[in-house]
Amino acid sequence: MSFDDLRDLLAATGARLRAGVPLAELTTLRVGGPATVADCATTEALVATVRELDAAGIPLLLIAGGSNLLIGDDGFDGVVVRIATEGVEIGADSVIAEAGANWDAVVAATVAAGFGGLECLSGIPGSAGATPVQNVGAYGVEVASLLRRVRLLDRATGEIRWVEPGELGFGYRTSILKHSDAAVVLAVEFALRADGSSAPLGYRELASALGAAEGESRPAADVREVVLRLRAGKGMVLDPADHDTWSAGSFFTNPVIPEERVAAVRAAIASHLGVDVAVPTYPAEGGVKFSAGWLIERAGFAKGFPGDGSPARLSTKHTLALTNRGAATATDLATLARTVREGVAERFGIHLEPEPVTVGVSL
């Protein structure tokens, strides 16, 4: 369909149509080829645009914060629907945010209003609507534990309804919404702590930085300040001037190894390193969680790998982030991802799963 035909199709939706937009401008990795973009600043425009495109059989790609996307260098052959809704409403014990609202701005608004609950998720890039899709988590807190409900557009039926967390199939960094085109997130509602205290501290590094014991609470504002400092030290807070933050955050999820394989994995690690070492692990549903960052570094991929001059490198602050040093392509990043993943598999027998959604890229 020509651009003029698309413009006519979407004329009544309220969306703003743009041609030839480099998708690198819409992702935190800053890679991705060109596409036609429909900017939707209201929920009404978003719903109408998705319905019109679906009815016409035109492929669409939803983008909001662009923080969990690796888009190919050829761009997207269809229409990119940019979710630019920004409404945030704080109530007596909860916050409702439209899908396109900047996530850290939502967290900051709740803390500034005297509420706690979301502070451990401070500094995470992206939009509010993306948080339940991959069950975002950090410093011992996951979205699944805070979420009250999600407002969804069912693309098959056109129905709009609020959905309870129990219907979303949450798991470690996943939900039934991830890798599925069945529904569009329109808004999210999170429970808040009206007394301004943080969620119980469940992450040793954070508790230690606050001078607290695990399980204790602290003022949400204090926790947010420390979380932002810790994340910034790992290059995990967006900064246009810092190429270590030109990333998709943690590129691989921490692998969960079934109990029956744990001894073999530990033996493989000791064999490769030539010494029996203390391996950081954590209890997890379905087995034992290993640190992907630790495994990557012990497999021989140091911070900054493969070194100066490479357009795509591991972060110089955190081995779990793949970064664009300014001129990287999606192909460069995919090549680096495969190198790291294959190296970890060869040395330790562990297959690392990419966390970002890939579009037009094969890993």
* 346 contact partners, CB below 8 Å, separation of at least 6: none
- 355 labelled catalytic: yes
CA quadruple 305, 311, 316, 322: dihedral sign: negative
Query: Which residue among the candidates 173, 193, 313, 341 is catalytic per the annotation?
Result: 173
Could you give the C-alpha distances from 250 to 92, 173, 317, 353, in angstroms and in order? Answer: 34, 11, 12, 11
The type of residue at 282 is: Y
- 260 labelled catalytic: no
CA distance 274 to 264: 15
Q: How many residues does the chain have?
A: 363
Structural tokens at position 11: 């004329």
Contact present, 359 and 72 (Cβ < 8 Å): yes
Q: In terms of C-beta density within 10 A (0-12 exposed, 13-18 middle, 19 or more buried), how is residue 246 classed?
A: buried
CA distance 201 to 276: 31
Structural tokens at position 186: 């329109």
Query: Which residue among the candidates 122, 175, 250, 315 is catalytic per the annotation?
Result: 250
Of 173, 125, 127, 122, nearest to 150 by C-alpha is: 127
Give how far the C-alpha of residue 86 lies from the chain's centroid of Cα atoms, to the nearest Å: 18
CA distance 21 to 64: 15
Query: Which residue among the candidates 52, 142, 189, 355 is catalytic per the annotation?
Result: 355
Q: In terms of C-beta density within 10 A (0-12 exposed, 13-18 middle, 19 or more buried), how is residue 180 classed?
A: exposed
- 164 labelled catalytic: no
Which residues are the active-site residues?
Answer: 173, 250, 355
